[in-house]
Structure 1
Amino acid sequence: MNQWGRDLALGFRFAFAGGREGWTRAVLTAVGVGLGVALLLLTTAIPNALAARDDRGAARTDITFSAEMPAKADDTLLVVEASTVFRGTDVRGRILEPEGPRAPLPPGVDRFPAAGEMVVSPALKRVLESGDGALLRERLPERIVGTVRQSGLVGSADLTFYRGGEGLAPYVDGGQVVRIDRYGDPNPSREKSDPVLILLILVVLVALLMPVAVFIAAAVRFGGERRDRRLAALRLVGSDGRMTRRIAAGEALAGALLGLVLGAVFFLIGRQIAGSVEVFRFSVFPDDLNPSPALALLVAMAVPAAAVLVTLLALRGVVIEPLGVVRTAKPARRRLWWRLLLPLGGLALLYPMVGQGNEDGDFNQYLVVGGVMLLLIGVTALLPWIVETVVGRLGGGGIAWQLAVRRLQLSSGTAARLVNGVAVAVAGAIALQMLFAGVDSDYTKSTGYDVSQAQMQVTSGGGVGIEDAAERLRGTEGVRRIVAHSEGWLGDRRLDPEKGASVTVGDCAALREQARLTSCRDGDVFAVPGVEYDTDTARLAVPGRTLYLDPSYAGSTPGREVAWQVPADLRKVEARRDLSGMERGGFLITPKALPEGAAQAMTGRAYIALDPSVSDARERVRNTVAALGPLVRAEDWSATEESNRFASIRTGLFVGAVCVLMLIGASLLVSQLEQLRERKKLLSALVAFGTRRRTLSLSVLWQTAIPITLGLLLASAVGLTLGAVLLRMTDTAVRVDWGSLLSMTGAAAGVVLAVTLLSLPPLLRLMRPDGLRTE
């Protein structure tokens, strides 16, 4: 151990005191390792960031749709759900009316805003004060009197406001308007763990972290050829082979330790930047990105250990002699059999879980992680063999082609290492895209809305009649058509009715959206029996029978019920699916047949068709609705809705993929610059002999294009295989998402092309005859 320590320390010293070559290689290694370490630290910090977001979101919970609400007291608060959407971004909003001096303040708010005042988040304040926020400012005209602090926001880009309200008590319904005496959900519900979602999380983590590990392993081998030639001098002064390798490991250890420092610096810089950006509508505060101490310690220990191990393994096939390094001899051909064992072993680990699906218990997490890791590591093992085999068979061509092919034939392993990380990232991304696409239908369901006929819905409340709302909306720019009606409930008794049926009130055009009417005029009444789950309409639709609108059990105050007698000319009609995709049973009543006072017991709905040629039509509708009152709501329609947990995991994948893609680009650029630095004298010699710069530039492009093409082909094959196995594990039919496959390979190829173009200016500077000078 003492000998190991002395040799590693000597290598450490050579890294920084061994001249320009030594510290240049150490800095390049440190930058490459630092980028990987920064991403690893970011990954270890994500669980804490998510937990912090969830904790703050839970702490500000106010509307729980609970039937149990406290009675009015000096410590109660009335809260109205007033959220909106602005150009596709959710804006969380609440209207507050304290009922006493001890009413609970929302987290992050110092005082209650009065009527006409508003407290907003910093991000929302920036939007409202910007030129693009003019339409939103019309919707939120209150005077801003304060900002919401971090404790009341889930992320730095959270758009949140609290407005002052008054006279809200009559509208308390336990849904949109509630009474609370504290913030936070007193009875939080815990969702049952979903095996498929757990599988998605595991595969996402492995697929995103494996490329980082590959890049770090490649970074510690930067400048390997020049380092090995320098180590020959140690053999000349008496060092044996083992000692030389340990000194080389110490030099790599120095770069790795410096990389840890740079990684910490990069992470701190990135953490500050993360607080000011939003990726896929996901944002965090810098304080949230605190790596777990245990995981950070694991990274700090694993990276230097990996640097030493990778260096020792890499030097096994290199003979460092006192008079030089034996690399020019024809190397032994790489063997295929042991490289195939890795992906086959991964498949063997995953195979027992095939067909387990979502109903036969949880997946074994260790087998999932181990199987996916072996398959992805198999990419790094197979790619050098494939590159060597293919380039060994490539023949003649143009000068640029021949230069590129010959260079690849001499150092196919270096070329493979350059694209290993890209191939692993693409393989994992393809498998994940297949898995997400395959199980998407299980977590995405149709809403039933006819979005071809209507794109928005407006619900009236707070004493605002739907007729008045529809009239205002018809005058709004961008509104092409409106279908409006009111809904209520009829019971057979004033209190605690045994039988009941829904009632819909509207003009003939609106009622024709609900049922098949042969004729209709104002004053007509129709019954729609036989609809699924409606068993009482046929029994209640007896001419002369008295029914009661809005009976007390439906949530209203006793005494507000309105009596209504079934008319003698009642007609029975057949239901049809309306614009919301529902078949409505019960009674259909035209306005003239509605008894006086019944409108107050009903909820109005309007379905709006928008003119696609009018920009911001949705925002204009929301502005009109906001002017009608705080209890009138506008909602967007979509053809499908997605599980929140599934959407969160996919968002995490996209955020992680963006970070890994940035790491790919940065690491490839560093690798490319290191390769060019290694070949400085060779390039200068070629230029001195008259080789055109365009030819050399094209040869560098071919040196990148050939291995990246082979890497992407291998990644596609492994990714498709892994994706198919994961789909069979979830008991889902195997289906290839060709669009995602092409997009992922195209994105990776685009990154490589961009890196190659960025490396051309340094390449042109290196292609000078004076590069042959030496000291």
Structure 2
Amino acid sequence: MIGRWYRDLALGARFTLSGGRAGWTGTLLTALGVGLGVMVLLLASAAPSVRAAAQERMDARAPAYLEEGARAAEDTVLADPEIVEYRGDMFTGMLLEPLGNPRADVRPPGIDRLPKAGELYVSPALRALLDSPEGALLAERFDGAPITGVIGDEGLRGPHELYFYLGTDTLSQDPAQHAVSGFGADRSANGMTAVLVLLVVVIIVVLLLPIAAFILTAMRFGAESRDRRLAALRLVGADRGMTRRIAAGESLVGAVLGLLLGTGFFLVARTFADDVRLPGSGVLPADVTPVPLIAALVVVLVPASAVLVTLFALRKVEVGPLGVFREGGDRGRRLWWRVVVLAVGCAVLFAPGQGTNSEGTEWVVAVGVSVALTGFTLLLPWVVEAVVGRLRGGPLSWQMATRRLQLNSGIAARTVSGVTVAVAGAIALQMLFSAMNDQIPSADDPDPDRARVLASAPVESGAEGTEFARGIDGARGVESSLPFLVARLPLVDVPPRADGTQETRTVVVADCAALDRLIKFSSCADGDAFVAGDGASAVRPGDRLDLDNDRTGGPTDEPRPWTVPRVREARVTDVLAGQTHQGLFLTPSAFPVEEVESLRSTVLATLDGSDPDAVEHVRNHVGVDSAGSELRALEQESGNGVLADIGEALRAGAVLTMLVIGASMVVSTVEQLRERRRQLSVLIAFGTSRSTLAASVLWQTAIPVVLGLVVAVAGGVGLGLLLLRLAGLPVTDWWGFVPLVGAGFGVIALVTLASLPYLWRMTSPEGLRTE
């Protein structure tokens, strides 16, 4: 039995390889279609490796801080990670300073030595930005530090990451907070929330299922010519089983060649991975390595699927010596079992109820989404057959297209199944993503043209704080500023918490004019004290606060208590500033500012909306080489970095999927035209214009795609509602399908335009020649 299978499969492969130009053309079209899908599957299988390699490099450069109480060695290095924001984009870097031996070889990967104070190592992407006119303002933030070197790939997350190492001498002012023994700490990102896991799972299913659907469709290219060959084999004595095995052998050749082509496409795409401007930091070619188990599954399942699809397609086909007969062709397609598949998928998604916290929910969601989208794919052939069967009349091109679809609508339905799955899944994803994005809180901005920023820096005296505030007020684009000093003082008479930390209270020092913009009171004079805020920040007269708020807590380190004077009740009027500054509000003469060990100068600045780079000028004044300094833009969405990364990956994956689907439909249309080249040539010989044939190709593509989009919109919205119910989120975007439907019509135009040159070639008189 095994020998018979092997012999018949080999005979089918031989027919394919020795079938002349026509046979090779069909096989290559099948291989091209399968290869495009295999390329995407291999790229998807490399995603875990890409993420793991990037995370490994990020861990390798993460500073390993000394444990509390540990002694610093001679080669100890001080490190302080910095976040830089420039024109809406954020990137990171690190300040470095040797604590003992300036020649210490403790350094992060990617650089050959520790930078000296004022020296700068940058990534290639950051260097290109700093050297460009767009980065001139950013270069000012580094105070003219010369670029000493470029960070190597081993020190970067990706080839397009913006990253820097800046040498400094400011970290030694507080060495205990920045001392590191080396680099290479485990800084893996925290686990994503259940809703984010749900989103990622749905994205994977939605992006890969259309590719799988197209691979299965591509394996059935050339079915009509294959049926004619099988009929000829029956005429010379082959039995029914033999013809099926020979057909499986023919499809196996196309699948294996497609596997080889797909591997080649993958290797080429991998080579140019660092040249592609993907969202985020980009991808290094060496990272694009498929997971061995997934790659092995692709290698095994693609040829196996080719055999199974062929045998499944022939289950109701009777190949006889006089032709091919399809059993039950007059009964039409049955609807009930397609609805059952769709209902099972929806039931699986409905079963967990609301919420995504239960263990294993992501697998339930993956199965439910896969089955539901498969149900939409199975429903499409019935819809196409039911609709086109009722179409009558119209222009000649319309009649030619509808008649062709009425004779065999299965090919058209299978061709657009990828579009249906992609659009339905993308609509559901868009609804889920929009709902999650709207859950991110944003502050209300009463005047968007007057943005505000909160800048702060550690200072050692009130005079130094005044100088910092004066510099912010004089920065270009600053319309007004509100300066004040902030200190967090421990409570002397309250024992430490279980973790050893001391309970603290916030003290804000400013004159009456500045306090009037922060809190509400009846009157104010120098020497007054106010308390404002909730219970957690409450301060009572007589409480003792430690002015030595930077002490280490050693046995000889005694507190320097200060007693809270009589205070008056007030309330915070500036909600945005009050989110972080609540507690004790004092005028200058009511508080010994110069006795406080650790103090911060803070400025609430209002920017002139006419200068779009006003906030960048303020950031330049704060600078990068200032440990502990920070600037926070108020009235902006707080944002979610993980969600933003997922959104970028979603858009990139959706574009790639739609491009592959568009290319696959072109291949499928060319295959259909090749099968009909004699009929097309006959029509031209009898006077049919090429414009009519082109219009018929357009209608033949458009009708199934439009019907597929209708199914996709209805199914995608329904699937989105189920996912939102599962995530416990409200509907926030009912019209997210509009751009996706537009993309579907764009695919129609792409397929029609790309197939016209081949149509012109097929309708030449040479097409009438036969043997």
Q: How high is the TM-score relative to the length of structure 1?
A: 0.89
CA deviations 1:161-191 (Å, max 9, x no partner) are 11111242113463xxx111122336x6884
Distance 1:686 1:467, change over 3 A: farther
Q: How does 1:358-757 map to 2 (within 5 A)?
A: 358-359=356-357, 361-440=358-437, 444-446=440-442, 452=448, 454-461=451-458, 465-490=464-489, 501-520=505-524, 523-529=526-532, 531-540=534-543, 549-552=547-550, 571-580=568-577, 582=579, 584-591=581-588, 595=592, 597-598=594-595, 601-626=598-623, 629=626, 631-637=628-634, 639-733=636-730, 735=731, 737-757=733-753
Q: Which has the larger displacement, 330-339 or 193-202?
A: 193-202
Partner of 1:209: 208
Q: 2:605 aligns to what SS in structure 1?
A: strand
| Counterpart for residue 340 of structure 1 | 339
How well do the aligned residues superpose, as a CA RMSD in angstroms?
A: 3.3
Maintained 8 Å contact 1:59/1:107: yes
In 2, Cα distance between the equivalents of 1:156 and 1:162? Answer: 16
1:85 correspondence with 2:85:
yes
Matched-pair contact (CA < 8 Å) for 1:531–1:584? no
1:88-107: per-residue Cα shift (whole Å, max 9, x none)? 33221111111224452112
Alpha-carbon distance in 1 for matches of 2:743, 2:578 = 40
Deviates more, 1:697-706 or 1:684-693: 684-693
Listed one character per residue, the Cα deviations across residues 632-656 of structure 1 (whole Å, up to 9, x for unaligned) are 3333446433455444444443333
- C-alpha separation between the residues in 1 aligned to 2:69 and 2:58? 21
Number of the residue aligned with 1:148: 151
Alpha-carbon distance change, 254 to 547 in structure 1, aligned in 2, over 3 angstroms? closer
1:96 aligns with 2:93: no
Contact kept? 2:64, 2:182, Cα under 8 Å: no
Contact 1:199 1:363 in 2 (8 A): no
Q: Contact 2:549–2:598 at 8 Å: present in 1 too?
A: no
Asked whether the equivalents of residues 531 and 583 of structure 2 are also in contact (C-alpha less than 8 Å), the reply is yes
* Structure 2: distance between partners of 1:462 and 1:270: 53
In the alignment, does 2:41 pair up with 1:40? Answer: yes
Give the superposition deviation at 1:303: 0.1
- TM-aligned CA deviation for residue 554 of structure 1: 8.9
Q: 1:341 to 1:84 in 2, by over 3 A?
A: same
Secondary structure, aligned partner of 1:154: coil
Secondary structure of the structure 2 residue equivalent to 1:635: strand
Q: Does 1:59 align with 2:55?
A: no
1:543 paired residue number: none
> Cα distance, 1:722 vs. partner?
2.2
Output the CA distance in 2 between the equivalents of 1:471 and 1:560: 35
* 1:116 corresponds to: 118
C-alpha displacement at 1:455, in angstroms?
4.2
Give the 3 Å change call, closer, same or farther, for CA 530–643 of structure 1 in structure 2: closer
The number of equivalent residue pairs is 759
Aligned mates of 1:595, 1:736 — CA distance in 2: 53
Which deviates further from its counterpart, 606-615 or 22-31?
Answer: 606-615
Contact 1:419 / 1:707 at 8 angstroms: preserved in 2?
yes
Cα separation, partners in 2 of 1:214 and 1:294, compared to 1, 3 Å? same
Instruction: After TM superposition, list the pairs within 5 Å mapping 1:259-270 onto structure 2.
Output: 259-270=258-269
Quote the residue 1:349 is aligned against. 348
Match of 1:312 in 2: 311
- Contact 1:40–1:209 (Cα < 8 Å) also in 2: yes
Tell whether 2:279 aligns with 1:280: yes
Q: Deviations over 1:707-739 (max 9, x none)?
A: 111111111222222222233333445x26223
113, 138, 157: which is aligned to 1:136? 138
Shift of 1:76: 0.9
Distance 1:608 1:394, change over 3 A: farther
| Counterpart Cα distance in 1 of 2:326 and 2:362 | 43
| 1:569-612 alpha-carbon deviations (Å, 9 max, x no partner) | x6543332433352744332344655462587321222333334
Partner of 1:640, secondary structure, is coil
- Please give the secondary structure, in 1, of the residue aligned with 2:392: coil
Change (3 A) 1:686 1:550: farther
How many angstroms does 1:139 deviate by?
2.3
Distance 1:192 1:282, change over 3 A: closer
Q: How has the CA–CA distance of structure 1 residues 458 and 167 changed in structure 2, closer, same or farther, with 3 Å as cutoff?
A: closer
Task: Mark the runs of 5 or more structure 2 residues left unpaired by the alignment.
Answer: 497-501
* 1:669-700 superposed Cα distances (whole Å, 9 cap, x missing partner): 22222223223333333333333333322222
Q: Secondary structure at the match of 1:104?
A: coil
Relative distance call for 1:189 and 1:126 in structure 2 (3 A) is closer
- For residues 467-514 of structure 1, give each alpha carbon's deviation from its aligned partner in whole angstroms, at most 9, with x where no partner exists: 333333334333333333221135665998998632212344432232
| Alpha-carbon distance change, 760 to 555 in structure 1, aligned in 2, over 3 angstroms | farther
Checking the alignment, whether the CA contact within 8 Å between 1:454 and 1:579 is kept in structure 2 is: no
Deviates more, 1:706-715 or 1:504-513: 504-513
* Structure 1 gap ranges (5+): 541-545
The alpha-carbon deviation at position 117 of structure 1 amounts to 1.5
Please, what TM-score do these two structures have when normalized by structure 2?
A: 0.90
Give the aligned residue type for 1:10: L
Amino acid in structure 2 at the alignment position of 1:232: A
Secondary structure (helix, strand or coil) at the match of 2:480 reads strand
**Which has the higher mean CA deviation after the structures are superposed, 265-274 or 412-421?**
265-274
Preserved CA contact (<8 Å) 2:459 2:599: no
Taking the aligned partners of 1:127 and 1:529, their CA distance within structure 2 comes to 46
1:168 equivalent in alignment to 2:171: yes
